[in-house]
Amino acid sequence: MDLRLLRYFVAVAEERHYGRAAARLHMTQPPLSRAIRQLERDLGVVLLVRSASGVELTGAGTALHAEAVALLERADLVRSRITGADASLTVGTLGASGAGGARLAEAFRERHPATRIVLREADFTDPTAGVRGGLVDVALARTPFDATGIGTRVLRLDPVGAVLRADDPLAGRPSLTVADLVDRPWFRLPDGVDPAWRAFWGGPGAREGAVVRTVAECAQAVLWNGSVGIAPLGEPLGHGLVWVPLTDVPPSPLVVAWREGGRDPLVRSFARIAVEVFRG
């Protein structure tokens, strides 16, 4: 069975849309459609049917998707082992990813025991956590950011809330809105931060607080100066801080990100395992 056709099928099955799958695979839609028809002819079954919203998997397609993902994972594992036991992967992060991060590490070690992982923690000047500058192979990051030349898969959506001192008069509220905090000093992000990132995380800007570059600096700015900022659910806050949901801020997408055009099987495997772990 042609692994290339299986990769194409998995992309369409996961995106449930030929156009999105073609963009993910860096190809146009007509050859992708022809490849899927070829796979269906080879197997003698219908795998996908078009719907108003995109495509749907048939029973045979659902069964093949599970088998194809496992087969491609195994093929990548064999390739990585053959290319050398000293293979390494540099992974970027911006902060904590909760229990999912621990599960991801365990699942990746189980499938790639010989691969050495190098972790690099980025700051807010690079929301892609090192992907854009080529400092890492793959990253756990948070959109929105300029995704030109960068591939992403959403792992989960985390509610966003205000980070306050525990003795703040608003700390005991069940929820807040941005308007409730507009007269408070908010963190400031460093100059040159991605505009989309700044617009989401930068706050209303009515009063400016301390400049912060890392998750830890955000927490200290609240604790020592009474600044206000926003953070996704699950970030470690430390003693003396509380997190209160913000009802008018959309959830924060946690994504796995990589440079488009790369063919490293370890990167593909990491992304697949991340999706499996965080969505499982």
Q: Does any domain span residue 131?
A: no
User: Does 5 have pLDDT greater than 80?
Assistant: yes
Q: How many domains are there within the chain?
A: 2
Whether residue 271 lies inside any domain: the answer is no
Select the more confidently predicted residue: 279 or 63: 63
Examine the fold and report which residue of 20, 49, 82 is the final residue of a domain before the chain moves on: 82
Answer whether residue 56 is part of any domain.
yes
Report phi then psi at 260, rounded to 5. Answer: -65, 150
Neighbouring residues of 68: CB distance < 8 A, sequence distance ≥ 6: 6, 9, 10, 13
CATH number for the domain that contains residue 179: 3.40.190.10
Q: Is the pLDDT of residue 207 over 70?
A: no
Confidence of residue 280 (pLDDT cuts 50, 70, 90): low
Q: Examine the pLDDT at 99 and tell me if it is beyond 80.
A: no
94 in a domain, yes or no?
no
Mean pLDDT, the chain, integer: 86
pLDDT of residue 71: 87
Query: 64-75, pLDDT tens digit by residue?
Result: 998 998 888 777
**Residue 203 is assigned to a structural domain of this protein:** yes
- Report whether pLDDT(58) > 80: yes
Q: Which of these three, 18, 51, 82, is where a domain ends?
A: 82
Task: Give one word for 144, left, alpha or beta, with left for phi > 0 and alpha for psi -120 to 50.
Answer: beta
Domain-embedded: residue 202? yes
Predicted local confidence at residue 96, as pLDDT: 62
Tens digit of pLDDT for each residue in 156-173?
999 999 999 999 999 999
**Residue 53: which CATH number?**
1.10.10.10
Question: Quick one: pLDDT at residue 127?
Answer: 92
Is there a cis peptide before residue 144, judged by omega within 30 degrees of 0? yes
The range of the structural domain enclosing residue 31 comes to 3-82
Q: Answer yes or no: is 208 within a domain.
A: yes
